[in-house]
């Protein structure tokens, strides 16, 4: 499965900006606002996002590798779609912060 770092390295300027934006939504707890993001957490959440996309959608694909590549492309598309909205939060962070019922 592709990593967030690989997406950044292989991506266009718009993709790189979207990756940086996604990273910035994962601050290190207690760090200064201008500190480097928690990239390990962002990486885990990007991987989880791909897994969620793979598990909740039934694309018309035949092989597991095709499904993974499709989900990776969809996850990058998601990063591009949520690059700039004010107040946007990582959906994985939000899900993890919800009280358990």
When divided into structural domains, the chain yields a total of 1
Q: Provide the residue range defining the domain that includes 57.
A: 4-97
Measured CA to CA in angstroms, residue 8 lies from 12, 21, 38 at distances of 8, 11, 15
Q: Which pLDDT does position 11 carry in this prediction?
A: 94
pLDDT at 75: 93
Across the chain, which has 101 residues, the per-10-residue mean pLDDT values are: 95 94 90 89 94 74 79 92 83 80 57
pLDDT value for 95: 85
Check residue 59 and give its pLDDT. 58
**Do 84 and 21 meet the contact criterion of CB atoms below 8 Å apart?**
yes
């Amino acid at each position: 499965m592709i990593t967030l770092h690989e997406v950044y390295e292989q991506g266009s300027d718009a993709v790189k900006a979207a990756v940086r934006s996604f990273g910035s939504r994962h601050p290190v707890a207690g760090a200064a606002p201008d500190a480097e993001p928690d990239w390990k957490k962002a990486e885990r959440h990007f991987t989880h996002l791909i897994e969620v996309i793979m598990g909740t959608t039934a694309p018309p694909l035949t092989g597991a590798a095709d499904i993974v590549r499709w989900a990776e492309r969809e996850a990058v598309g998601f990063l591009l779609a949520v690059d700039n909205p004010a107040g946007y939060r990582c959906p994985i962070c939000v899900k993890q912060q919800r009280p358990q019922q």
